[in-house]
Amino acid sequence: MTTQVENFPGWPEGVQGPELIDNMKKQAARFGADFQLAHLNAVDLNVNPFRLQTSAGEIPARTLIVASGASARWLGLPSEQALIGHGVSSCATCDGFFFRGKEVAVVGGGDSAMEEALFLTRFASKITLLHRRPGFRASKIMLERVMAHTKIELRTNVVIEEVLGVEEKEVKGVRLRDVANGTKSILPISGLFLGIGHEPNTKMFSGQIDLDGDGYIRTTGNVLVTRNGVVVPGLFACGDVQDRRYRQAITAAGSGCMAALEAEKFLEEHGH
């Protein structure tokens, strides 16, 4: 979903997300990778070979690398969805650069929102942090940093009713409602950043492997997946589905490499 990627090593001028992926695919194909597009409907990880029920039929697999990622949480407003990539973003690290000298807003009251707001101070002229409650979930130190920053203004007890600019195809502002007294107001901004958390895409694995309290895959030895604390032979996970901290294309690519090396070693050790 990312368009311009500015922080992948080796691309000094940046690269478009789809172009980066296309190049990676070509490179893997040169070494014999076979690609098959299918939707995964169900998995059985209690047997080896694992059984994958997909839209293209059943696929048996002696090794499986789960790289299903995490999806940003969205507010769910139609105007927000219409403006994703046109001023609405869930990743300040990816898109903050485009808002140099502009006024933006960040939604959320946790550490992600604080981090996004602080990161955006490098580019934006003003950041308004919008939170639906008076209290914050964020750690004290992050909140203090945000409160002390002259470029950041906090507005609590507000929810976004609509993102303005759908017709113009660029964010022009947000319509806010004060939850305490119902007052509506318009905040003119050029960018809206969602900092309301992520959800790992692990529903179909639940009950078969160890997940943490928020559904991220627990790994040991970097990329080995466990069930009741015991490593599941041949099963690996990499990228955002097991990483809630870094969430960068390059760190995901790095853990993908680790998983691939482990899978190869596993197959070799088992004589395949």
- Which residues are part of the catalytic machinery? 91, 94-95
Euclidean distance between CA atoms 149 and 189, whole angstroms: 19
Residue 14 amino acid letter: G
172 CB burial (10 A radius; 0-12, 13-18, 19+): middle
Residue 133 interacting with ligand NDP (CB under 6 A) = yes
Q: Which is nearer to ligand NDP, 43 or 94 (CB)?
A: 94
Q: Which is nearer to ligand NDP, 15 or 196 (CB)?
A: 196
Euclidean distance between CA atoms 266 and 71, whole angstroms: 30
CB of 30 to ligand NDP, least distance (A): 37
- 164-223: which residues touch ligand NDP (CB under 6 A)? 196-197
Near ligand NDP by CB under 6 A: residue from 17, 110, 215, 256? 110
Residue 132 interacting with ligand NDP (CB under 6 A) = yes
Residue in this structure with the two tokens 């001028």, named with its chain if needed: 13
> Which letter, b or e, does each residue of 37-67 get, where b requires 16 or more Cβ atoms within 10 Å of its Cβ?
eeeeeebebeebebebbeeeeebebebbbbb
Q: With beta carbons less than 8 A apart as the criterion, state whether 191 and 90 touch.
A: no
Comparing every residue's Cβ against ligand NDP, the nearest one is 110
Euclidean distance between CA atoms 261 and 255, whole angstroms: 10
Q: Which is nearer to ligand NDP, 17 or 215 (CB)?
A: 215
Among 121, 77, 116, which Cα is nearest to 103's? 121
Q: By CB under 6 A, which span of 37-45, 90-98, 101-109, 248-256 interacts with ligand NDP?
A: 101-109
Near ligand NDP by CB under 6 A: residue from 2, 68, 79, 112? 112
CA-based max dimension of the chain = 69
Q: With beta carbons less than 8 A apart as the criterion, state whether 158 and 152 touch.
A: no
- 16-55: which residues touch ligand NDP (CB under 6 A)? none
Question: What are 28's two structure tokens?
Answer: 């893997």
Residue 92 interacting with ligand NDP (CB under 6 A) = no
Euclidean distance between CA atoms 17 and 266, whole angstroms: 31
Euclidean distance between CA atoms 195 and 160, whole angstroms: 13
Q: Pattern 50-79, binding to ligand NDP, x per CB under 6 A? A: -----------------------x-x----
CB of 108 to ligand NDP, least distance (A): 4
Near ligand NDP by CB under 6 A: residue from 61, 98, 244, 253? 244
Residue 239 interacting with ligand NDP (CB under 6 A) = no
Binding interface with ligand NDP (CB under 6 A): 73, 75, 107-113, 115, 132-133, 137, 139, 196-197, 244
